[in-house]
């Protein structure tokens, strides 16, 4: 056998071995099933924060915030029976007339719910977690965009369809803030 043929045979053996090992090196404990949907709820999708006191006109607004986008990616842990979800939550805060120091603080939530077939018109809420945001709108700027990265782990449903699960997001609102939103949205 010539040196060239031996070299080609060696490389062919190495390439076949590498292809075989690559097929075996995938993580057998991972699944690529679809992620639960992530949705921002209507009424708590916006927040108008007023300064303390009875005033509710535009001169009393500290800031307005709204959820702009939620993007999720997930992986399945077949051994642990869990779905690990990475969420990117993008929010916008806009300075109000009453905001002096630029400090913006608010809370929002992520609720894990399941629409059970034949279970009625409301989903079953399995969990609800609150998150806090504290940031600052720089002096001279009208507003800012804020991105929060979350990791949420939920149990993988054994015999249920993961597409029945939904992650609902919204701002934590006081009764007054909810009433304000309902008036603004005409509800």
At 45-78, the pLDDT tens digits run 999 999 998 888 899 999 999 999 999 898 887 7
- The Cα–Cα gap between 83 and 143 comes to 35
- pLDDT(164) > 90: no
- pLDDT(15) > 60: no
- pLDDT(94) > 70: yes
pLDDT mean over 125-154 = 94
Q: What is the pTM of this model?
A: 0.77
pLDDT mean over 79-93 = 90
Question: Is 131 within the bounds of a domain?
Answer: yes
Cβ neighbours of 104 (radius 10 Å): 23
Give 125's strand partners. 113
> What confidence score (pLDDT) does residue 159 get?
58
> Strand, coil or helix: what is 80?
coil
* Range with the poorest average pLDDT among 10-24, 55-69, 121-135, 145-159: 10-24
Write out the two tokens for 186: 């005409």
Question: For residue 102, what are the domain limits?
Answer: 30-185
Question: Is 24 within the bounds of a domain?
Answer: no
The CATH number for 151's domain is 2.60.40
Question: Is 20 within the bounds of a domain?
Answer: no
Q: How many structural domains is the chain composed of? A: 1
């Amino acid at each position: 056998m010539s040196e060239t043929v031996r070299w080609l045979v060696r490389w062919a053996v190495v390439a076949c071995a590498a292809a075989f090992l690559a097929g075996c090196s995938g993580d057998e404990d991972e699944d690529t099933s679809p992620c639960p949907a992530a949705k921002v709820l209507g009424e708590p999708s916006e927040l108008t924060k007023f300064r303390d006191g009875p005033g509710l006109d535009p001169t009393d607004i500290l800031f307005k915030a709204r959820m702009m986008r939620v993007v999720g990616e997930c992986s399945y842990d077949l051994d642990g029976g869990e779905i690990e979800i990475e969420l990117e939550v993008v929010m916008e805060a806009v300075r109000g007339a009453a905001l002096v120091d630029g400090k913006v603080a608010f809370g929002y939530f992520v609720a894990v719910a399941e629409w059970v077939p034949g279970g009625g018109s409301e989903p079953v809420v399995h969990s609800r977690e609150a998150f806090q945001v504290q940031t600052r709108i720089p002096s001279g700027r009208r507003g800012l965009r804020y991105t929060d990265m979350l990791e949420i782990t939920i149990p993988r449903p054994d015999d249920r369809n993961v597409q029945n699960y939904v992650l609902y997001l919204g701002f934590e609102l006081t009764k007054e803030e909810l009433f304000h939103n309902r008036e603004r949205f005409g509800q």
